[in-house]
Amino acid sequence: MANPRLGKLDIVTTSLFFSLVILGWIMYYAVTYSPENTTSIFDLSRGLGKETLWVGSSIILFFLVQVLDARVWSGLAFVFYAIGILLLIGVLIFGSSIKGATSWYTFGGFSFQPSEFAKFGTALAMSATLSGPSDDMSNPKTRLIAFGLLALPVFLIMLQPDAGSALVFSSFFILFYRKGLNGTIYVIGFILVALFILSLIYPSYGILLVLLAAGLVFAVSRKDKKIWQEYAMIAAALVFGFYFFEYNWSIIPLALIMVRRVVLYIKNGNLKKLVFHFSTLLIAIGIVYGARYFYDHILEPHQQERINVWLNPSKCDPRGSLYNVLQSKMAIGSGGLAGRGFLNGELTQLNYVPEQSTDFIFCTIGEEQGFIGVTMTILIFLGLVLRLTFLAERQRHSFSKNYGYALAGILFFHFMINIGMTMGLFPIIGIPLPMVSYGGTSLMMFTLMISVMIKLDQSRQRTG
């Protein structure tokens, strides 16, 4: 007699998931393979044996979740969130410090990273919070609760500190957008982030001139003579300040013009325009000048090096901080169209790429399987993200729908950033490639998150 709790397993999602799990095990085998020193895949004293154990455990966990009642996850959502928070607090007290971050519990040769569990707990709690009939992001109270649920684990993870894991939580803004958060916020956020990044590459004065040019274009499009005159005055003030003041004081003439604008706004009673324009200007100027201060006086030297590797590689030592990215690109590029073949990667076998089994596992795929293997891997990840989105859209219950979007966002952020890191498109922030990078915590948590979504989809079938 069939178990009444089991529904029809989604074959597409399951196949994509296990394809990545198998790929991860094979690539780890390739990284650790040595013809002179072969070991059993079940030897728990070696990394390969541990990885085999984690893969086997993930398979058991996957099917165990399918037996459990789907209502467990919505009913205990905040319990899982609370457990995640307690684990994050506990790791600050009892955790082990690895590479400068107190992010791990270690016991008996194994380690556990609580931030991975916190992602799962936050996804459940966020899905429950936004599952009510009026609980969308257009509601101020709901927004406050949702941002609070997000801010707490991010704050605790930053105390470790682990900026990479903390940044993953920004993926929940995909769910927020789906639940009605104003799209203007995303546009403003993108512009501010772009300003911050550009300010780390180019002089602050140059960024202000670009902003001024954009303002002039706006003024011309509006055909407003007063706006045109004001921007002309700002331009003259900036040029004057550039030639007659110290570099860092060139903002003073611009500030005087802004004071004039404030007086005019108050005189004409345009308080809303005053607040909007003035606050926007202050934020922009603060980011432009604050970015450089943040880089010079707040970031640690190794964090500055990571920024330089990403934005200013010419300033980095190719034998130092730039070494990882250069070797990564070389490994991926050396694979050509079809790759060097399984276990034939020279850079892989000679361990030229540091952290090749974890953060840079994608390099092994590139070298041994070439462009074809890289493309297929990316397509599998994209296929899984799109499939999770499809599952989310067809759910009848709001909790399941929200959870599907939260999971799709987490997965997309992980694989996009990790692959971008190996190619130098993003800074190296220690984000693993889901199901592929070596690491038991990451594999088990992604197994749990994906199997829960499949179970929720089965629940949809039974209640239909």
Report whether 391 contacts 10 (CB < 8 A): yes
Q: Which residue has the higher pLDDT, 301 or 166?
A: 166
Query: What tokens appear for 312 in the block?
Result: 């200013």
Q: 453, 62 in Cβ contact below 8 A?
A: no
pLDDT tens digits, 48-105: 888 899 999 999 999 999 999 989 999 999 999 999 999 999 999 998 887 777 888 8
DSSP assignment of 79-108 equals HHHHHHHHHHHHHHHHPEEETTEEEEEEET
Task: Please tell me the distance from the alpha carbon of residue 221 to that of residue 215, in angstroms, as a whole number.
Answer: 10
pLDDT category at 164 given cuts 50, 70, 90 is: confident
User: Is the pLDDT at 130 greater than 80, yes or no?
Assistant: yes
Give the list of residues 6+ apart from residue 330 with CB closer than 8 angstroms, or none.
347, 352
Q: Are 451 and 66 in contact (CB under 8 A)?
A: yes
DSSP 3-state of 352: coil
Nearest of 218, 234, 143, 222 to residue 180 by alpha carbon: 143
Q: How far is the C-alpha of 373 from the C-alpha of 13, rounded, in Å? A: 20
pLDDT at 219: 54
Confidence band for 237, pLDDT divided at 50, 70 and 90: low
Give Cα separations from 315 to 85, 201, 273, 329 (angstroms).
40, 11, 43, 18
pLDDT surpassing 70 at residue 258: no
Q: What is the pLDDT of residues 5-60, one digit of tens each?
A: 555 788 999 999 999 999 999 999 988 887 776 667 777 778 888 889 999 999 99
Q: 2 — phi, psi (to 5°)?
A: -70, 145
Query: Predicted confidence band at 255 (pLDDT cuts at 50, 70, 90)?
Result: low
CA distances from 263 to 166, 256, 258, 275, 436 (A): 42, 11, 9, 12, 60
Give the burial string for 376-410 (b: 16+ CB within 10 Å, else e): ebeebbeebbebbbebbeebebbbbbbbbbbbbbb
Signed CA dihedral, 359, 365, 366, 368: sign only: positive
What three-state secondary structure class fits 381? helix
For the whole model, what pTM was predicted?
0.85
Which position has the higher pLDDT, 253 or 359?
359
Mean pLDDT across the stretch 185-194?
A: 85
165's torsion region: left (phi>0), alpha (psi -120 to 50) or beta? alpha
Strand partners, 112: 105
- Residue 242 clears pLDDT 70, i.e. is over it: no
Specify the range with the lowest mean pLDDT, choosing from 71-75, 196-200, 227-231, 430-434.
227-231
